[in-house]
Amino acid sequence: MGKVAVGIVMVCGVAVAAAAAVVVHRRMKKSAKWVKAMEIVKDFEIKCSTPISRLRQVADAMIVEMHAGLASEGGSKLKMLVTYVDSLPTGKEKGLFYALDLGGTNFRVLRLQLGGKGHGIINQQFVEVSIPPSLMTGDSSDALFDFIVAKLAKFIAQEGSDFRPTPDRQRELGFTFSFPVVQTSIASGTLLKWTKGFSINEAVGRDVVAELTKAMERHGLDMRVSALVNDTVGTLAGGRFANNDVVAAVILGTGSNAAYVERASAIPKWHGPLPKSGEMIINMEWGNFKSAHLPLSEYDLELDAESLNPGDQIYEKVMSGMYLGEIVRRVLSWLAQEAAFFGDTVPPKLKVPFILGTPAVSAMHQDTSPDLKMVANHMKDIFEISNTSLKMRKVIVHICSIVATRGARLSAAGVLSIMKKMGRDTVKEGEKRRTVIAMDGGLYEHYTEYRKCLENCLHELLGTEVFKTIVLELSRDGSGIGAAILAASHSKYLGSDD
């Protein structure tokens, strides 16, 4: 009996020891996976680092490209497109004008009533429409323009009698088209390529105003396009209408771009007569900037390789709203695959490209709740991942911060390049000049941490004395308003009593 008891005790002891060994092994395995996960995050953080010295290199490289782009067509990754806008609004514009603002997956139809000198905008109304994804790609652009014009016609059909033009006048439209275009006049331009997820081969090389006009004719809409601009030029014009100190505009939304006022004599590729103003608005198309100084990770390189436009829009792909969420998703997916961050299997929805939007990244990054409840909710709602611990959620927030911080600081480097090109990065003794940059786009407006980071970084780059002379001014709906105002300033009815 005693021997049996001893045997039972020994067997139980072995079982307990084995169970303990399994627990220890699991803990060690879990610990090893966590260490692996932290190594991946740290490596990503290092590759995304943006010390001031690197940002200055980025800005200097961009200035070199700016000069090259102004010297000749095709001389730079920066298109530095001549816009034919050689004078900006004066505030005296008067009448009823429209804008069509197409720059991403949504477009806006806008109506402005301008009251003339001292009265500004006395009435405005707009409608925003989502574009079906099926219309963003394909062989023909007719379906896209027909859809847009149908919404424009509906907007006009619902107007009251106060907004009907006299029988001898056409309605006039400013067309904000925020894709790379080579303009041949203020109201015509050839599409160079699509960006922001659009890819309609037939439209490339065609005059986009002609395509829109044909669609209006098909729908029986009597309207004339009197100004073709992109969103940054529209934002600059809208900003100048309200503030005479506005000299540049930056869009930080789905995509990103910048425009600024350049001396016409500093544009070697301009062969026409010098404008009376001595100035010309330049559309930089800075999203296409590329430099060895840009901090890129393997996730960025993979995103670019799998995109609709590999090798293009590299700058935009690391700092604009369309891509920030996708970069975060790719990092999380790699953590799940290589470090079992979310368990032994990779959650299926984590493999879906662009499922994570930048608004969700913004919400998680800015989650101030003690338990990061917003992060938990987004992980569950978007990826169907419900088993995140607080420690995991903190890592997710950190990844969002890495991506947003890099984007914001690279944006600041771009602003610095414009300031340096315009000679506004220094302050002369006794000088009281103000430099106002009109800012537009949901990323800048709604992602508070991104905006603060950009502004703080610009302060670092310029120094306190110069930074005090710089104003980043939010210009809500600036691109559409600016297009309508430019339609007014280029109206064929200028000089009439109306």
- Are 434 and 386 within 8 A, CB to CB? no
Q: What DSSP assignment string belongs to 383-451?
A: H------HHHHHHHHHHHHHHHHHHHHHHHHHHHHHHHHTT-SS--TT----EEEEEESHHHHH-HHHH
Q: For the stretch 81-107, what's the b/e string if a residue is b when 16 or more beta carbons lie within 10 angstroms of its beta carbon?
A: bbbbbbbbbeeebbbbbbbbbbbbeeb
Reduce the DSSP state of residue 184 to 3 states and report it.
strand
Reduce the DSSP state of residue 153 to 3 states and report it.
helix
What six digits make up the tokens of 356?
A: 């994570």
What six digits make up the tokens of 417?
A: 């390049």
For every one of its 498 residues, what pLDDT tens digit does the chain have, with 9 covering 90 and above?
A: 555 555 555 545 545 444 444 444 455 557 889 999 999 999 999 999 999 999 999 999 999 999 999 999 888 989 998 998 887 887 778 888 999 999 778 899 999 888 776 667 877 888 999 999 999 998 889 999 999 999 999 999 988 777 777 777 889 999 999 888 888 889 999 999 888 889 998 999 999 999 999 999 999 999 999 999 988 999 999 898 888 899 999 999 988 999 999 999 999 999 888 888 889 999 999 999 999 999 999 999 999 999 988 999 999 999 999 999 999 999 999 999 999 999 999 999 999 999 999 999 999 999 999 999 999 999 999 999 998 999 999 999 999 999 999 999 999 999 999 999 999 999 987 778 899 999 999 999 999 999 999 999 999 999 999 999 999 999 877 788 899 999 988 887 766 544
pTM to 2 decimal places: 0.84
**Separation between Cα atoms, residue 230 and residue 175, nearest integer Å:** 8
Q: For the stretch 421-448, what's the b/e string if a residue is b when 16 or more beta carbons lie within 10 angstroms of its beta carbon?
A: bbebbebeeeeeeebbbbbbbbbbbebe
Which pLDDT score, from 0 to 100, does residue 497 have? 47
Which pLDDT score, from 0 to 100, does residue 498 have? 47
What six digits make up the tokens of 93?
A: 């514009």
